[in-house]
Amino acid sequence: MANGVTFEPDFAEEIRVVHDFDKRLKYVQFDIIRDAPPSNDKNNNQTNSNAQNAFDVLMRKANTQANSKVPSKHDETAPRFTGCIVRRGLNNSRKYTPMLRELYKRRIKAGPEPELHPSDAGCWNYNSEVYAFGKRYGEDFDESLLRKAFITSDYRQAEEESRRQLGIDLESVPVGVVDNSELAQKGEQIASRYIKAYLRHSYPMMLEEGIQAVHDYLMDDQMIYHIASNFGLTDLIMSTNYPPEDHTYCTAFKAVIGALAESQNEERAGLFVRDFVVSQLAGKNLMEIWDVKNPMGLLSSVLSMQGRGPPEPRLLWQSASATMLSLYHVGIYSNKQLVGRSPGETLPIAEEMAAKDALSKLMNISLDAKPLQFGEKSESWKLDFNQRNQSANDLLQTSTMDALEPCNTTILVDDITRSASRFLGSNEAEKCDTTIHGWVRLKINKTDADMPTSCIDVFRCGSSMPIWLNGTLPEIENDVVSLDVCYRGFMDCCEKRTQIQLKNCGTYNVYLLKSVDTCNARYCVAINITFKGIARVQPIEPNHDVYSNDEHMLKFRCNVNIPVENKGHVFDLKWDLNGKTILANDTNTTNIKEEDFIQQAVLTADDLKRENQTTMGFKISIRGIRGRTSKGDIGLDLMTLQKGL
């Protein structure tokens, strides 16, 4: 072939000349009669003349290509043309199409050509490529460690096998090639620890099972292969196969992390993992990565942990429910507040997706949440590698125990505005308990408290309609009682009455409260203050000590020592006779010492006569029911001062 002109050895052959006019291929075919014997025939001379002219035109067209070298008709090496018949067309030969078909079949049978390593071209500097790899990502690697990170175990085994075939003793002359298995193991541990610590720091509300699911997603071989195959490792990995296999990419990438940790430190290796592995979460929906098996049950536990009501699924709207293209949109409510919603082709699917949406919002991992922090914003973080988030399994078990054991409830209500002694200010907005529900433990300033058991004035407890407990608190541990609560109105202490449950948990009580239906009603809280009481009873004997010189009357006396810090407090005391409550008619105070304050309650024989108790064998006890100051009721309930007198 010479510059686009092909000469074939057959007597009758085709010369195909390719011209590029405006980047289009045009073909001119000639049937040529070569080496014909010379003839004096006029017609034959005319034919030769036409062939000569056609050859001249052909050569001039071929000369249009730059730097082309077309054989001249006077060149001895060029064939002589004695006759030429010109035919114009596109692949008019009947041999051309079958030839292409046969070549295609042979190419399919032979298969694709193997991909060749750049070193096969002869221009390849491996040391320069390894050095450039580290600088490309801005890291200072120890080059010996980085080379080690690219050596696979099969490459080392192939080197040993080749030396055995050459008769070289491996014990006396070791190979000196160490594979990357140890570096890969170290890199995997560093990446795993950093990913978990980073996720726990970024998503403190996310449950530990979700953290583990996202960690497994990032550490999966498919994800690591995706990162490593786009990381420029293909030509650097020393393996018996080219291109390397998928697992070889994963091992080499983890070994690079381990090499960076040994070259610098684990902190720098962690930042490397943050930039190239954790960054794969950008734009991802974490709830799609974490497959929650029971989203509605988990949502109920999370809401209970946060002190909110149980989830209530509601159908917001539906479309084409009687067709194959049905659509249902379900919302999840808690305490009359929408916490999540999602569409679905069926009601169960829509409810499950809405529960997942609510979980993502409660754990602050939804798509509209704050994005992950990378770069300089996260370099100053102090990650705790030993911290663990709350587990979903523990949460579900705790919720089950709480349903069976109210004393283990985690719902705490600690609000100073609920105090029965606090007056609602003129510029203060009223509060109501339309969202409270379930077993609660009442506190004020982190101190256990109870509901007051006496009538509360209006405009207390942060509301114009305070709710107080109309009954006696349970005194026996683990005792569960049902008592009435009263809504304090302007005209009556108990304008409205409902029933709640209480349980004595030893040192505190828990309440099964219900949400109120009027927005100006609110449960009150009063702190339990226990004072040490000293009770003395004069025995019923014919002894002059039991009679007063003035009244000649039998008396039961109870003296209460009140600490100095509670001076000015006066407590109403209640006597119980055989389990029946009677109020003492003689309650007075006496200053015994300057630093002490003693309140004395006296039960006389006249009090017993009014109760028709004139015989022996009765039981008397006393306790405080309410505290007062000169400014009015302070709403303090007292525990029993003395039992079984």
Among 93-97, 129-133, 205-209, whose mean pLDDT is lowest? 93-97
Higher per-residue pLDDT: 288 or 23: 288
Identify whether the C-beta of residue 451 lies closer than 8 Å to the C-beta of residue 485.
Answer: yes
Mean pLDDT throughout 437-445? Answer: 82
Q: In whole angstroms, what is the distance from residue 2 CA to residue 18 CA? A: 11
Average pLDDT of the residues in 84-112: 75
Strands, E, within 452-606: which ranges? 465-470, 480-487, 496-504, 509-513, 521-523, 526-527, 533-537, 555-562, 570-577, 580-583, 586-590, 597-604
pLDDT at 20: 40
* Chain segment 192-238, per-residue pLDDT in tens: 999 999 999 888 888 899 999 999 999 999 999 999 999 889 889 98
In tens, the pLDDT along 319-370 reads 998 888 999 999 999 988 999 999 999 988 999 999 999 999 988 888 888 8
Specify whether the CB–CB gap between 284 and 213 falls below 8 A: no
Domain 126-281 bears CATH identifier 1.10.1520.10 = yes
Query: What whole-number distance in Å separates Cα of residue 173 and Cα of residue 159?
Result: 12
The residue ranking higher by pLDDT, 606 or 540, is: 606
Supply the mean pLDDT for the chain: 74
Which of 91-99's residues contact partners 24+ apart within 8 Å by CB, and which partners? 91/27, 92/29, 93/14, 93/29
Least confident residue range of 58-67, 361-370, 468-477: 58-67
Dig out the tokens for 489 from the structure: 């109105």
- Residues 144-168 pLDDT 10s: 999 999 999 988 888 888 888 887 7
**CATH of region 533-642, choose from 3.40.1350, 3.40.30, 2.60.40, 2.40.50:** 2.60.40
Phi, psi of 572 (to 5 degrees): -80, 125
Distance CA 467, CA 345 (A): 46
Under the banding of pLDDT at 50, 70 and 90, the label for residue 66 is very low
pTM: 0.50
C-alpha Rg value of the chain to the nearest Å: 48
Write down the domain spans for the chain.
Answer: 12-96, 126-281, 288-370, 409-527, 533-642
**40 against 35, higher pLDDT:** 40
Q: Answer yes or no: is pLDDT of 530 > 50.
A: no
CATH numeric code, 288-370: 3.30.160.20
Query: How large is the average pLDDT for residues 404-421?
Result: 75
| Confidence (pLDDT) at 263 | 92
In total, the chain counts a number of residues equal to 645
- Summarised one tens digit per residue, pLDDT across range 488-509 is 888 888 888 888 888 888 888 8
Neighbours of 489 (CB within 10 A): 15
- The Cα–Cα gap between 268 and 139 comes to 9
Residue for token pair 């001379």: 45
